Amino acid sequence: MKNNWLEHLKEKLKTDQYSSSESERYRHSHDESSHHAVEPEVVCFPESKEDIQAILETARTFGIPVTPFGAGSGLEGQAIPVKGGISLDFERMNQVLKFSPEDMQITVQPGITRKQLNKLINRQGLYFPIDPGADASIGGMAATNASGTTAVRYGTMRDQITDMEVVLADGTIIHTGSKAKKSSSGYHLTGLFTGSEGTLGIITEITLKLHGIPEHVIAASCTFSTPRECAEAAHMILLSGIPILRMEFVDALSISQVNTYGNYGIPERHSLFFEFAGMKKAAEEEAVLAEELLTGLGAENWKVAVDAEERSLIWKARHEMSYAFRHLKGTKVTGGDVCVPISKLPDLIDYARELIEESALVGGILGHIGDGNFHTLIVFDSESPAQQEAAELVNEKLAFRAIELGGTCTGEHGVGIGKRKFQQTEHGAAVSVMKNMKQLLDPENLLNPDKIFE
């Protein structure tokens, strides 16, 4: 049977479009999470939606699972082919299909990465602001509803997509929306497929809203004595209505970690990082008002960076935080991704700190505090099951507490493998509705099986 399906598959593709080499199977067996790696039997490199239809035909005929693979930067094992079968790598589907600067819109294939995309559009004065720390693929970002430091202004991937082309499990090709900026026509399939982690269909085209590069940008940072003070100050900034582009929290331990990693020399205290952006006078006014408000709340070390180099250094450091925890030999990192109403943040961050201390492991806290979203990054010895368990217990307790507070177990990373256990508690009776939708769109459970639901 097995050779059978591989033969069936190979007949439809060019010989360089599939590989069962050890290196490709290894490369597609894991993502950036600490979840158990599983190798696919074959990796396919589709070049068109027709290739994908053909691959799905084999999958249906022989009951072979298909797991899409973007840049493999996921943090919940979403791209791991836990049931083997086919890994679908989009690296050859990375073209811009239509760039319409006049409509501030672009249609791309899923394999293009966010940095490649920005390189192409920046010269037109436009940018695509969603920025997970990694250079993720747009397809992967759509599939996980990714966001990042700019969500506080622009929202998440879901808010940026007006249309997707999707190949369904049965080979049907649909468009989920249109090129209009808003629509009240039909059911909102765009929102449904965004964040579905490859379990409902294969995304082959994505139309994104683009944004004008702000005329003027001011970066700033300040420090406080405790994480709680940072959270309270962030809350005050939001209530004040000062329109920030970015507002990030990083605790002292994480800063010392990134200083060691990148030699940044940033003050090793609990810190808030800001970006104010827009018309020149507006951004300047905002920065001044923020400084007044923050120093009134006891902020220290207020520092402003206007020139591009200094600014990008700060944000490079922020984006490297997560890698800074990952670079230690023999260790792994696991992390939570809770998101709660902003008023609950101070308590929840205190609770996270307590849990990390109880676990006796090294762990930092940082996050997109303006959205009520933060991450724990907990380092454990990859050879010690006890340490791994202790690290996971922190995430688990934190996730359940976040749900209790009306929040979510995952603000941006998605469910994948690691957050399946929270779905019933978070979504209750809605889980059956979700499972029915999966059943409706993928009755044979071929598309990324065993993700999101247990």
Ligand X SMILES: Cc1cc2nc3c(=O)[nH]c(=O)nc-3n(C[C@H](O)[C@H](O)[C@H](O)COP(=O)(O)OP(=O)(O)OC[C@H]3O[C@@H](n4cnc5c(N)ncnc54)[C@H](O)[C@@H]3O)c2cc1C
Binding site for ligand X (CB under 6 A): 31-32, 67-75, 78-79, 90, 110, 132-134, 136-137, 139-141, 143-144, 146-148, 197-198, 202-203, 322-323, 412-414, 448
Please tell me the distance from the alpha carbon of residue 36 to that of residue 316, in angstroms, as a whole number: 30
Closest CB to ligand X among residues 248, 286: 248
Q: Of 131, 129, 207, which Cα lies nearest the Cα of 162? A: 207
Residue 84 touches its own copies, criterion: CB under 8 A: no
Selected binder of its own copies within 23, 241, 265, 307 (CB under 8 A): 241
Residue 316 interacts with, from its own copies, ligand X, none (CB under 5-8 Å by kind): none
* Contact characters 96-125, its own copies, x per CB under 8 A: ----x-xxxx--------------------
Closest CB to ligand X among residues 198, 214: 198
CB of 162 to its own copies, least distance (A): 9
CB of 166 to ligand X, least distance (A): 8
Torsion of CA 192, 197, 200, 204, to 10 degrees: 90
Sign, CA dihedral 218-219-225-231, equals: positive
The residues, any chain, with a CB within 8 Å of residue 84's CB and separated by 6 or more, are: 38, 39, 40, 41, 65
Residue 250, SS3? strand
Please tell me the distance from the alpha carbon of residue 415 to that of residue 134, in angstroms, as a whole number: 18
Six-digit token string for 27: 């490369």
CB of 196 to ligand X, least distance (A): 8
Selected binder of its own copies within 8, 47, 155, 228 (CB under 8 A): 155
Residue 297 touches its own copies, criterion: CB under 8 A: no
Selected binder of its own copies within 37, 96, 120, 192 (CB under 8 A): 192
Residue 184 touches its own copies, criterion: CB under 8 A: yes
CB of 92 to its own copies, least distance (A): 25
Six-digit token string for 13: 């593709």
Q: Which stretch binds its own copies (CB under 8 A): 256-264, 285-293, 307-315, 377-385?
A: 285-293
Residue 407 touches its own copies, criterion: CB under 8 A: yes
Residue 120 interacts with, from its own copies, ligand X, none (CB under 5-8 Å by kind): none
Selected binder of its own copies within 47, 57, 91, 159 (CB under 8 A): 159
Q: Provide the pairing of β-strand 105-108 with 211-212.
A: unpaired
**b/e code 159-182 from CB counts within 10 Å (16+ = b):** ebbbbbbbbbbeeebeebbeeeee
Angle at 127 between CA 125 and CA 132, to 5 degrees: 160
8 A C-beta contact, residue 66 and residue 46? no
**b/e code 100-126 from CB counts within 10 Å (16+ = b):** eeeebbbbbbbbbbbeebbebbeeeeb
Residue 267 touches its own copies, criterion: CB under 8 A: no
Residue closest to ligand X (Cβ) = 140
CB of 299 to ligand X, least distance (A): 24
Residue 172 interacts with, from its own copies, ligand X, none (CB under 5-8 Å by kind): its own copies
Max distance between CA atoms of the chain, in angstroms, equals 71
Residue 410 touches its own copies, criterion: CB under 8 A: yes
Residue 395 touches its own copies, criterion: CB under 8 A: no
Selected binder of its own copies within 156, 160, 257, 334 (CB under 8 A): 156
Selected binder of its own copies within 58, 147, 331, 448 (CB under 8 A): 147
CB of 425 to its own copies, least distance (A): 11
Q: Of 206, 198, 205, 188, which Cα lies nearest the Cα of 56? A: 198
Q: Of 106, 167, 169, which Cα lies nearest the Cα of 138? A: 106
